[in-house]
Amino acid sequence: MVTTNKYEIKKSKFSNKNMINLANRKQVIDKKPVLDKKIIQNPDVSVVVKNRKTELVNSDLFSLADYHKDHFEGELFNKVSQFRAFITDVRNKGYYQYQRKISSMSGHSVIVNNKINKHKMILFASNNYLGLTGHPEVIDAAVLAIKKYGSGSGGVPLLGGTMSLHKELERRLARFKGMEDAVLFSSGYSANVGIISSLVGKNDVVVNDKLNHASIIDGSIMSGGQFVVFPHNNMRLLEKKLASIPSNRGILLVVDGVFSMDGDIANLPEIINLKKKYNFRTMIDEAHATGVIGSFGRGTPSYFNLEGKVDIVMGTMSKALGAVGGFIASSEEVVDYVRHYARSFFFSTSLPPATIASLIKVIDILERDGTALVKKLHNNSEYFRYLLSCNHIKTRGESFIPIVPIIVGDDLLLRKIHSELNEKGLFVNAVPYPAVPKKECRLRLSIMATHTRDELEYAANEIVKIFRKYNLINV
Ligand SMILES: Cc1ncc(COP(=O)(O)O)c(C=O)c1O
């Protein structure tokens, strides 16, 4: 395996050691300051955090879950100042890696600013799987559109915010997905919330895979319908749940096509098979499948040769399509209904014309070069997983899927590993509790078609070294 230090970052004067260590100046509370009714308070120990007098906590003992609003009572901002003390300690220990500032295009490598200078880092935290955000044809299309149509659409879609470009993109997406019609939303999040809450009523049932994305869960809650969950991709227990729902209820079964946390694929053939026995409608979230699997990147139904068999296909334009926005594609009558009842559609301004033009160009590129781009992405994903598995590091998910989860299983260790990888010039994501169960906290790397072999080898090598150092490899 090739090892190179070219991405290594020199320790800045703001590294852990030199940072102002609040713990040395004030007493650290070593145990959880959660008192009666889980109110977090300890008036005896305090520290000034940005002019606000608050408690000092040892962040190693806490997670974000401890500062959830429901653990607090009394003055509304109590939770805010207590959280501030926790997050300040995380920052001081050098573990805080959210919102790193990127000052370049979001490619396979990026320039990241810290307080004193800029570094080149290899980016393994982008959903821009095919690297299309920087494609010259895409940029040209956006520039032309902004000159012709200006920076914004000027309105919500039903009332003055629909341009011919929006209609063109809807038509192209419907065709790409093999469906009759499509409708655009301002984000994938609002697409899921809009479609589910507009279709599922209080007399209906929405059935969810346990690992469905938060936006599907939020849409399901907002719908007011009965909410049923089955264990991840477990078809036997799904059938049991379906069998228990009275036959006079409307049922929407929703799954991610490619699951965003585990990198595996929904068992669509079995789901479609169950339709022979039970009367339900299907919806698939193609956020991480569009541009990633299926012929020309058409997604999960195409991957399984089941195009036209799913009732509603939802997708985002923020990942492999390289821009922003969400959509659903379905029959003309479903799309027509959703246009008039999805509040997140008609109460929200439509996407800007430059974005729409760039997306139409991306569909052109996929219809032309999709096979080669997707193959490159799969090859890179398989190669990276292969490098790790040669060193006995297990990854979750399908070998060719670009989402690569590596379970660490200990939140504190995860923070350390994450910050050490950062020092090595590797921009990866850490997924701590409560986003996943404690024992499943993980590194989550996203592979791109544009990563070079050198970059993949360097990253794998650094991960292996750190995992060895912390005895996370059991051979
Ligand atoms: C599976 C899934 N669905 C929906 C969304 C929301 O999409 P967007 O970021 O475009 O709002 C995401 C985003 O992370 C996702 O992973």
Domains of the chain in start order, with CATH, are 20-92 (no CATH), 103-132+369-469 (3.90.1150.10), 153-351 (3.40.640.10)
Compute, in angstroms, the gap from residue 101 CA to the centroid of ligand 1: 21
Ligand 1 nearest atom to the CA of residue 256, by list position: 1
| pLDDT band at 39; cut points 50, 70, 90 | very low
Q: Could you give the residue numbers annotated as active site?
A: 260, 288, 319
Pocket of ligand 1, candidates 190, 260, 284: which has the most ligand atoms within 8 Å of its Cβ, to mutate? Answer: 260
pLDDT of the residue at 446 = 98
- Alpha-carbon gap, residue 284 to 316, rounded angstroms: 12
> pLDDT: is 54 or 296 the higher one?
296
Which tokens is 58 given? 């040892």
Mean pLDDT of 185-191: 98
Q: Is the pLDDT of residue 34 over 90?
A: no
> How far apart are alpha carbons 207 and 200 in whole angstroms?
11
Q: 193 CA to middle of ligand 1, Å? A: 11
Q: Comparing 14 with 116, which gets the higher pLDDT?
A: 116
Q: What is the average pLDDT across 463-470?
A: 96
Interatomic CA distance for residues 284 and 290, integer angstroms: 11
Ligand 1: centre distance to CA 158 (Å): 24
Q: Quick: pLDDT tens for 349-365.
A: 999 999 999 999 999 99
Which residues in 138-243 belong to E strands, given as ranges? Answer: 181-185, 205-209, 226-230
**What are the backbone dihedrals phi and psi of residue 265, each rounded to the nearest 5 degrees, phi first?**
-115, 140
Residue 45 pLDDT: 40
Q: Tell me which residue has its CA closest to atom 10 in ligand 1.
A: 188
Q: How many angstroms does the Cα of residue 298 sit away from the middle of ligand 1? A: 17
Average pLDDT, the chain: 88
| Residue 204: pLDDT over 50 | yes
Q: 361-384: per-residue pLDDT in tens?
A: 999 999 999 999 999 999 999 999
Spatial distance between the Cα atoms of 214 and 26, rounded to a whole number of angstroms: 39
Q: What is the mean pLDDT of residues 280-292?
A: 98
Report the share of the chain in percent with pLDDT over 70: 88
Asked whether residue 406 carries a pLDDT value surpassing 50, the answer given is: yes
The pLDDT confidence band at residue 94, using thresholds 50, 70 and 90, is confident
Q: Counting atoms of ligand 1 from 1, which one is nearest the CA of 192?
A: 4
Mutation probe of ligand 1 site: the residue of 127, 211, 213, 286 with most atoms within 8 A of C-beta:
213
Which pTM value belongs to this model? 0.87
Query: pLDDT for 254-269, tens place per residue?
Result: 999 999 999 999 999 9
pLDDT at 53: 52
pLDDT tens, position by position, 121-149: 999 999 999 999 999 999 999 999 999 99
- Alpha-carbon gap, residue 262 to 270, rounded angstroms: 19
- pLDDT band, residue 58 (cuts 50/70/90): confident
Residue 308 has pLDDT above 60, yes or no: yes
Percent of the chain clearing pLDDT 90 (strictly above) = 73
Q: What is the Cα–Cα distance from 270 to 285, expressed in whole angstroms?
A: 17
The encoded tokens of residue 412 equal: 């504190």
The pairing of strands 205-209 and 226-230 is parallel
SS3 299: coil
Distances (CA, A) of 206 to 44, 118, 241: 49, 47, 11
Give residue 98's pLDDT.
86
Average pLDDT on 19-36 reads 33
Torsion of the alpha carbons at 376, 377, 383 and 384, rounded to the nearest 10? 150
CA 203 vs CA 179, 222, 248, 251: distances in Å: 27, 14, 9, 9
Contact between 315 and 292 (Cβ < 8 Å): no
